[in-house]
Structures are given as C-alpha cells and as structure tokens.
Amino acid sequence: MNAPWKTGNRDMFAAFVCDDVTLDTLRSVVIDMGWPPEKVMKGGLRNAIQSLAITASPAILMVDLSESGDPLNDINALAEVCEPGTVVIAVGQVNDVRLYRDLVASGIQDYLLKPLSVGHLRDTLVQAQAIFAAPRGDGAATKRHIATAVVGTRGGVGASTVATSLAWMLSADHKMPTALLDLDVHFGTGALTLDLEPGRGLTDAIDNPSRIDGLFIERAMIRANDNLAILSAEAPISAPLLTDGTAFQQLVEEFRHAFEATVVDLPRNMLINFPQLLANMQVVVVVTELTLGGARDGIRILSWLKSNAPHALVLMVANKVPSGVGEISRNDFETSIERKLNFVIPHDFKAAANAAKLGQTFVGANRTSKTVLPLRAIADAIMASDADRDAPAGAKPTKGIGKGTKPARAAADGGTDKGSNSVLGRSIKKLLSPKSKTGVAA
C-alpha cells in the first residue's frame, strides 16, 4: 500500500526554495495537495543537488534558481542526480524567454516566475502530477491511450452524466477515437442518454469472455458518432450479474488497441467487486454532491483510491451544486474530505431537461451554456494527463533532467496507508472534527 505522499519508495514532492515568501506560499498549496509541508525546504538548486545525490528523487521536484549564477549549468548537474521520470519545475525571478526555452530544452517541465500565486502553483502541481502518472513510452512505438474511470460517491450524483459528456468531448472535440464502457449492467443509462439501443454486446462479452477480440469489439459496439463507440447493456433485472470480472479486464485491454481513449462508467459496487479494473485507469473522476452522504463516501473512496490506485490522477468533481445554500457548503465539504474540489458543476435543471429532450449528452445538448464549462475543463485535464505522450517524436529531449542518468531505485514501499482521509463520521460536525478520526474507512 502507498501513502498518498509516496509513490513506490519516492516522495511525491520535494522543493528547495530560497526565500520565506515562496516557502510559505508553496507550503500552503502543498498541504492542500495532501503532501507533507516539511518537504518544502529552504535552499536553492545546490542544496537540491546535494540532497538528491544521496536520497531517492521525488516524483515532482521544484527548485528555486534565484541564487544560481549559472542556472543552465546547475540544471545539468541536477540531471546527473535525478532519477528517471522526475518532473522538475523551476522557479526564479528572471523574466527571460531565452532562459525559459533553454530550461525546457534541458528537460525542465515548467518555469514559474516569482512571486508565485497560489492558483498558478496549484494548477502547475496538478498538471505535474498528471504527467508523472501518465504511462511513459517511447512515443512513436507506444500506442497512445488514455483510460478514465468515472465513479459516483452516491447514487444519482451525475456520474453517468459526467461519463457520457467526457466520452462525447474526447471523441467530438478532441477527435480521439473513444470507447465508452457502461458497467452499470442492469440500470446503465449510457446508451439511453445518447438515444441508442444498448444491444447485446456487453451481455455477450460477460457470458463469453473468451470471444472478446478486435473483431468482437468492432461488431458488438454501438456507434454514437464517427469517433465514439459504446458498450453497454440493459440486462434483465431478473438475471443477477454472474462474472469474475475477466470480461471487463479483457474489454479494457482490447479498447487499448482499438481506441485512443476509454471512459468507464464505473458504479461503486463494481469498484468494490472488481478493484483490478483500476489498474488500467490513468485518471479517476470522482463525482459527488455536496451532501453529508457524499462527504462520507467521498472520504472512503478517496482513501480506497490512495491504497488501490496510487498511480491514478484523481479528479474530485462536485456536481448538481445549487446556486444558493445547499446541504453542506463547499468549504465544509473540502474540509471534511481534506482536499480541494478540482471542479464544480452547477445544478442546472434546464440543461438536464434539454439533454433529455434532445437525446444528447449533457454537454452536447448545451454547448453554449456556462454550466458545461467545468466539464470541458475536466476533459482538458484528462488530455493534459496524456500531454507527455502528445509531443511529436523528437520534441521532448531524450537527454536532460528526469531522463535519468541516475538509476531508478527499486520500488520498495514500506508505507502504510493510514489515509489522512480516514475520517468516518455520522454528522458533518463529526466529519469536520479532527478528534473524530477514529474509523478507518477503507
């Protein structure tokens, strides 16, 4: 099991900064990300080099170049001691586009100008996390694919609305051949949303996993647009689901060859029964409402994901958020789940009615509505998590920082997941009280 701030035997994050203002700003963001603030250390590039020469590199490293007389030379020295895959972000006070270009050419992911803003820092770290989580390959030789699971904390929170909208945007706006797998086998609404008949494809796959291959996929999936195919079922409610999950694993594997993106509408019970499905997902979108039940189960699902899918980028999305007072305020909700929400989608009856009337996805039916902007941003974040592999061959340096002259250490994780999100309370008061950290929910 992995602690949230660990990935294998590496820390998720470390920073070496030169001044107190940067230190304080960065620490506040790092706490929000669930990482230990003491990993933000005083000291610049030279301290980073000394420290990394004798310890494992973090997944994401932030270095302050302010006290470096020759940043490019020092960055090359840093490359010598950095393990492969490290995402390095530089900060400094020199506003010079040539320096920026040279740093990027030497493998630096980004260069942030001081003074740092909290919002910009947070965006940069979320993106760095996504880049670290994205599978690496040699670009041209590895087929590009991004797999996303969408899970609701509670029934009816809008997980399927988000899943169908994401699949639609990836296929139509981002032009990615996309598979939508609706694993709500009895009550799924993926096909219904798109005004399609689900057919027998998924039922056949469950009944005969050995038949699943490229040809089966081609025949069994229902086309929603030129780039989007869907596999779903409306299994009779008299027929219990009898499967060991092999079919789902095989389907996801076949999608990897046949499509560039997979979106899985993953009901919570399927998450519990077939946790191995998460192994192939790079991004997990957790959809919730701002309710007491949503907070409790958000905590439990986030904790579960930290233990069972530490590689995945987890995006926390509040949906159906009322414009006025709701059951729990955004602040209280974020305090209880001990992390920030990444995206907030308003409750919009009109948009939902429009989608139902037109037989289109929530986003497809309301293209000009402000309500769908956060959904677009989620699709962009999913695409960004794949950005490392988007770069044309040769655009990314094969040498340089994070490319690894220092050998990677074997992943030997001794960490236990005590889960900072392991609060299980029966009331919001309890959820918010630090003293209530008694139950462990995953």
Ligand X SMILES: Nc1ncnc2c1ncn2[C@@H]1O[C@H](COP(=O)(O)OP(=O)(O)OP(=O)(O)O)[C@@H](O)[C@H]1O
Residues that bind ligand X (CB under 6 A): 152, 155-161, 184, 189, 267, 319-320, 345, 347-349, 352
The residue at minimum Cβ distance from Mg ion is: 160
Q: In terms of CB distance, is 184 or 388 closer to ligand X?
A: 184
| Number of CB atoms found within 10 A of residue 430's CB | 17
Q: In terms of CB distance, is 76 or 189 closer to ligand X?
A: 189
Least distance in Å: CB of 237 to ligand X?
Answer: 14
Asked whether the beta carbons of 282 and 147 are under 8 A apart, the reply is yes
Least distance in Å: CB of 144 to Mg ion?
Answer: 28
From the list ligand X, Mg ion, none, partner contacted by residue 348 (C-beta under 5 to 8 A by kind): ligand X
At 254, the amino acid letter reads: E
Q: In terms of CB distance, is 6 or 154 closer to Mg ion?
A: 154
Q: In terms of CB distance, is 134 or 192 closer to Mg ion?
A: 192
Distance CA 109, CA 127 (A): 10
Least distance in Å: CB of 272 to ligand X?
Answer: 14
Please tell me the count of residues contacting Mg ion according to CB under 5 A: 1
Read out DSSP for 384-439? HHTHHHHSPTTTS-SSSTTS-SSPPPP---------TT----SSHHHHH-GGGTT-
Least distance in Å: CB of 273 to Mg ion?
Answer: 16
From the list Mg ion, ligand X, none, partner contacted by residue 246 (C-beta under 5 to 8 A by kind): none
Distance CA 282, CA 309 (A): 9
* Region near Mg ion per CB under 5 A, out of 3-11, 80-88, 156-164, 213-221: 156-164
From the list Mg ion, ligand X, none, partner contacted by residue 319 (C-beta under 5 to 8 A by kind): ligand X
Least distance in Å: CB of 296 to ligand X?
Answer: 16
The alpha helices in 185-276, defined as continuous H runs, are 190-193, 201-207, 214-220, 246-258, 268-273
How many Cα atoms within 13 Å fall on the side-chain side of residue 14? 22
Q: Which two structure tokens, joined as six digits, stand for 274?
A: 């077939």
Least distance in Å: CB of 159 to Mg ion?
Answer: 5
Asked whether the beta carbons of 56 and 83 are under 8 A apart, the reply is yes
At 195, the amino acid letter reads: D
From the list Mg ion, ligand X, none, partner contacted by residue 161 (C-beta under 5 to 8 A by kind): ligand X
Torsion from C-alpha of 390, 392, 393, 397, nearest 10 degrees = -80
Least distance in Å: CB of 232 to Mg ion?
Answer: 11
Q: Is the dihedral of CA 413, 415, 417, 419 positive or negative?
A: negative
Least distance in Å: CB of 156 to ligand X?
Answer: 4
**Element at 325 (helix H, strand E):** none
Distance CA 305, CA 102 (A): 38
From the list Mg ion, ligand X, none, partner contacted by residue 68 (C-beta under 5 to 8 A by kind): none
* Region near Mg ion per CB under 5 A, out of 43-51, 152-160, 242-250, 359-367: 152-160
* Region near Mg ion per CB under 5 A, out of 30-38, 99-107, 160-168, 292-300: 160-168
Q: In terms of CB distance, is 318 or 428 closer to Mg ion?
A: 318
Q: Is 160 in the site for Mg ion (CB under 5 A)?
A: yes
From the list Mg ion, ligand X, none, partner contacted by residue 155 (C-beta under 5 to 8 A by kind): ligand X
Q: Is 161 in the site for Mg ion (CB under 5 A)?
A: no
Residue 72 exposed, middle or buried by CB count within 10 Å (0-12, 13-18, 19+): middle
Residue 330 exposed, middle or buried by CB count within 10 Å (0-12, 13-18, 19+): middle
Q: In terms of CB distance, is 254 or 289 closer to ligand X?
A: 289
Least distance in Å: CB of 193 to ligand X?
Answer: 8
Distance CA 5, CA 415 (A): 10
Distance CA 221, CA 181 (A): 9
From the list Mg ion, ligand X, none, partner contacted by residue 345 (C-beta under 5 to 8 A by kind): ligand X
Q: Is 171 in the site for Mg ion (CB under 5 A)?
A: no
Binding stretches for Mg ion (CB under 5 A): 160
